[in-house]
Amino acid sequence: MINKLEQLKEEAIKKIKEIKNLDALQNLEKQYLGRKGELTAILRGIADLSIDDKKKIGRLSNEVKNELKENFLKIKNIIEARASDASFVDVSLPGKTIEQGSVHPISQMINDLDDLFSKMGFMVLDGPELESDHYNFTALNIPADHPARDMQDTFYIDKENKKGELDMVMRTHTSPMQVRAMQKYGAPLRCVVPGRVFRNEATDATHDTTFDQIEGLMIGEDISLANLSAVLKEVLHGLFDEELEVRIRPGYFPFVELGLEFDVACTICKGAKCPACKHTGWLEMIGAGMVHPEVLKYGGIDSKKYSGFAFGIGLTRLAMMKHKIDDIRLFNSGDLKFLKQF
Ligand code: FA5
């Protein structure tokens, strides 16, 4: 019986210490010290003991009872004091789990491209998303009213400049950084510019209104398309684990003389034609060419001495092909089910 009492005491004290509210404390007190409680149940067996044992057990049970009462009272006081103290923080409560995010697939792609181009000696530059009409179009050999402006449906900003002109646009491509970089760094020059661009597009599986491009520019003496081809090959090799099939065809951009477009065979259907490649087997991926002498002139570079290539890669489409995502709109959807896969 002595053992039982000791065991009961230890067990009760342990439980009392874990109690966090008054209701639970009251229930526990009833469980041990109430009329039908566990201590009373043990003492019921006392009648069968000798007088000596009765005395011993009686004394011990009183001690246990008092000790438990003291413990109940102590914890009750603590709980009541906490309840009346508004600043109390229960550090023993489990904390809220903070969900760990992951790097957005577009940011991952930018990081990978930055690394690959840096290794080839390209500076990584950043440009303004709100751009002047001058850098977005005029300095790229697309004067006002030139039909080529219609190639990129533009968000014009409703704010006049000092001359009363509406001349700010959400940049439609990363190409405005070509002239900005030439003006700042001169020739020779090697730079890339990743970033967001904006177009007033009807969206579909491969077109969004906000997407990312990476511009590339290399100016020097005797730069040719062979250099462009070598650089792009190196980058695509570095990015993709699989071999990409690439198709090159002529393309028109007013800021290059000899313009090219690069298509990539759809990695989702492997060229077999699917909704993601609009059943063509190919995805238009890169616009490129040799920088137009007019653009070099705007950049303050002598076009007789220097030549260069430029390209604009559809970075979001590249991410589509790398991760085999069949709808470009998922990247900006903010859908956690999509984002948690990366
Ligand atoms: C341009 O934006 C040129 N600035 C590229 C360039 C740079 C040409 C330097 C010559 C020299 P384009 O509009 O074709 O070109 O866009 C380039 C790439 O961006 C496309 O090949 C495609 O991969 C991607 N792209 C274009 N429009 C969209 C869109 N609405 N949604 C997603 N990606 C797009």
Question: Pocket of ligand 1, candidates 253, 262, 322, 328: which has the most ligand atoms within 8 Å of its Cβ, to mutate?
Answer: 253
Kindly report, residue by residue over 284-319, the tens digit of the pLDDT: 999 999 999 999 999 999 999 999 999 999 999 999
Both tokens of residue 88?
Answer: 């109390």
pLDDT tier at 57, thresholds 50, 70, 90: confident
pLDDT tier at 4, thresholds 50, 70, 90: confident
Q: Is 65 in the pocket of ligand 1 (CB under 6 A)?
A: no
Q: Which residues pair with 256 in a beta bridge?
A: 291
Q: Which residues contact 217 (CB under 8 A, 6 or more apart)?
A: 177, 178, 181, 182, 189, 190, 191, 192, 193, 291, 308, 309, 310
87 pLDDT above the threshold of 90? no
Q: What's residue 50's pLDDT?
A: 86
Which residue, by CA, sits nearest to atom 32 of ligand 1? 207
Return the sign of the alpha-carbon dihedral for residues 210, 213, 219, 224: negative
Kindly report, residue by residue over 172-215, the tens digit of the pLDDT: 999 999 999 999 999 999 999 999 999 999 999 999 999 999 99
Q: What's residue 249's pLDDT?
A: 97
Q: Is 288 in the pocket of ligand 1 (CB under 6 A)?
A: yes
Shortest-distance atom of ligand 1 to CA 288: 10
Q: Is 231 in the pocket of ligand 1 (CB under 6 A)?
A: no
Q: What's residue 290's pLDDT?
A: 98
Q: Is 153 in the pocket of ligand 1 (CB under 6 A)?
A: no
pLDDT tier at 254, thresholds 50, 70, 90: very high
The H or E element that residue 18 is part of is helix 2-18
Q: What's residue 317's pLDDT?
A: 98
What whole-number percentage of the chain has pLDDT above 70?
100
Q: Is 175 in the pocket of ligand 1 (CB under 6 A)?
A: yes
Both tokens of residue 153?
Answer: 């449906």
| Mean pLDDT to the nearest integer, 85-93 | 82
Mean pLDDT of the chain: 93
| Mean pLDDT to the nearest integer, 134-162 | 89
Query: How far, in Å, from the CA of 284 to the mean position of ligand 1?
Result: 8
| Mean pLDDT to the nearest integer, 321-331 | 97
Residues 56, 58, 62, CA angle at the centre, nearest 5°?
A: 120
Name the pTM for this structure. Answer: 0.76
Q: What's residue 69's pLDDT?
A: 93
